[in-house]
Every structure is written in C-alpha cells, then in structure tokens.
Amino acid sequence: MKLYYSPGACSLSPHIALLEAGLPYDLVKVDLRAKKLENGDDYLTVNPKGQVPALALDSGELVTEGPVIVQMIADKAADKNLAPSRDHADRYKLQAWLTYINSELHKNLGPQFAPALSDDAKAFFKDRVMGKFRYVDGELAGKDYLMGKQFSVADGYMFTMLSWAERMKWDLADLSNLMAYKARVGARPMVQEALTKEGLLKAA
C-alpha cells in the first residue's frame, strides 16, 4: 500500500493507523499547493480530488477520505482492535466519533490555514471549534480514549486535530481531560514514529 500524505496534514491520522495496525506501506509525499509529488509528477493524475490522504491499495484501487481509510486499515488488522467489528454495536459509536471529528472539528479548523481569510472570520471558526473541544473534554471524563479504555482509529484523528490547535498556539489548558488525553495519545510509540517519519518530531 501507498499512503499519499503531507506532513502534519489530516493524513497523519491514517499514518498513525497504519503503524498501529502493523501493516506494510510506503509513504509518498505530496505538495498540496503545487499538487505535485516529490518526483515532480502531477498528483491530480493519482487523486483528482487533489487532497490527502489517499491510500493506494496493492490491487491498484485508490481509497480517499480519511474516516473511510482508517476504518479500512482497522479492518485489515482486526487483531489490533483499532475498531469494533463491523457487526458490533460499538462500531456505530466509532463512526459517530469519526463523523463528529470530520464535520465539526476538521472542517472548522481548516479555515485557520487559509491566508485569504480575515482575522474576524478565523476568530469565528475558532470560537466554534473551542465549543466542540469543550464537548469532547466532557466526554473524556474518566476515559483513556474516545471509546473508553481501548485506543481506536478515531483517536489518531482527534490527536491530529489537537495538533493543529497546538500549531496555532491555542490555549486549551483549562480543558484538562483533553490535554491529558493528547499527552496520552502523543506518548504512544507508533504516534511518535509517525510524527518522526513526517519530520514533525526529531528522532531521539
């Protein structure tokens, strides 16, 4: 498999999932602004959406959209318990978290990286996201991870969103459950490895 990624982008989520799953993969870096691969090839010929992540399967099929990709990765390594089985009631809880992160956090955080957006507009989106983070903080009370005691692919996605907030130097100190959670996920060896491979963390 090949994971098309951009350092620190939302493709960090499936990158973490691949490492946690222990599946073999190759990393292919994408320049999202130029829509080019490192070798100069046009990324749009690979993924017409022009976005990351994209996962090229050994069959030649290309899978896009992060929440779909991480569920596929989890299903390919079912013994790692990165997602409840497809017929388990908790699978819908996982999908609810993935959907919430995708629609309520990801899509409201994204505008912070738009240079053309006014400060007032960015402040509006920040206020929306902070409200969502407060909700997550409450849901994490007494839990190690979003699903309880078990790390899941939703946690890699949530960690990525929290990393974006950190990059923008947002103060989340009063959200103690969320900050403890971020530290817990960030300390996982496979998360550390993903960050290192993407050049976001210096190797020890």
What ranges do the domains of the chain cover? 2-80+191-197, 90-189
Maximum C-alpha span of the chain: 48
Nearest-angstrom CA–CA distance, 173 and 43? 39
Taking the domain 2-80+191-197, which CATH number applies? 3.40.30.10
| 170 Cα distance to chain centroid | 18
Architecture of domain 90-189: Up-down Bundle (1.20)
| 25 Cα distance to chain centroid | 17
Total-model pTM? 0.96
pLDDT in tens, the chain (204 residues): 999 999 999 999 999 999 999 999 999 999 999 999 999 999 999 999 999 999 999 999 999 999 999 999 999 999 999 999 988 999 999 999 999 999 999 999 999 999 999 999 999 999 999 999 999 999 999 999 999 999 999 999 999 999 999 999 999 999 999 999 999 999 999 999 999 999 998 755
